[in-house]
Amino acid sequence: MHIRILGSAAGGGFPQWNCNCPNCHGFRTGRIKATARTQSSIAVSSNAVDWVLFNTSPDLLAQLAAFPELQPARATRDTAIKAIIFMDSQIDHTTGLLMLREGCPHEVYCTDMVYEDLSSGFPLFKILTHWNGGINRHAIPLDGNNFRITGIENLSFTAIPVTGKAPPYSPHRNNAHIGDNIGVKITDDISGKTLFYAPGLGDITDETRLLMSEVDCLLVDGTFWEEDEMRIVGLGKKKAADMGHLPQSGDGGMLDVLRPMVKPRKILIHINNTNPILNEDSAQRRRVLEEGVEVSFDGMELEL
Q: What is the pLDDT of residues 117-174, one digit of tens each?
A: 999 999 999 999 999 999 999 999 999 999 999 999 999 999 999 988 899 999 888 8
CA–CA dist 147, 182 (Å, integer):
14
Backbone angles phi, psi at 210, to 5 degrees: -65, -45
Report whether 30 contacts 111 (CB < 8 A): no
| Closest alpha carbon to 14 in 281, 238, 277 | 277
C-alpha dist (Å) from residue 191 to 52, 212, 215, 219, 279:
18, 18, 13, 19, 36
- Mean pLDDT score of the chain, rounded to an integer? 96
Report whether 24 contacts 47 (CB < 8 A): no
Q: Report the percent of the chain where pLDDT is more than 90.
A: 94
CA–CA dist 213, 118 (Å, integer):
32
Residue 176: predicted pLDDT: 86
Report whether 89 contacts 114 (CB < 8 A): yes
Report whether 234 contacts 23 (CB < 8 A): no
pLDDT in tens, 261-301: 999 999 999 999 999 999 999 999 999 999 999 999 999 99
Residue 165: predicted pLDDT: 85
pLDDT in tens, 236-268: 888 998 898 999 999 999 999 999 999 999 999
* Predicted structure pTM score: 0.97
Residue type, 47: N
Residues 6+ apart with CB under 8 A from 14: 23, 24, 27, 34, 36, 37, 271, 273, 278
Backbone angles phi, psi at 293, to 5 degrees: -110, 135
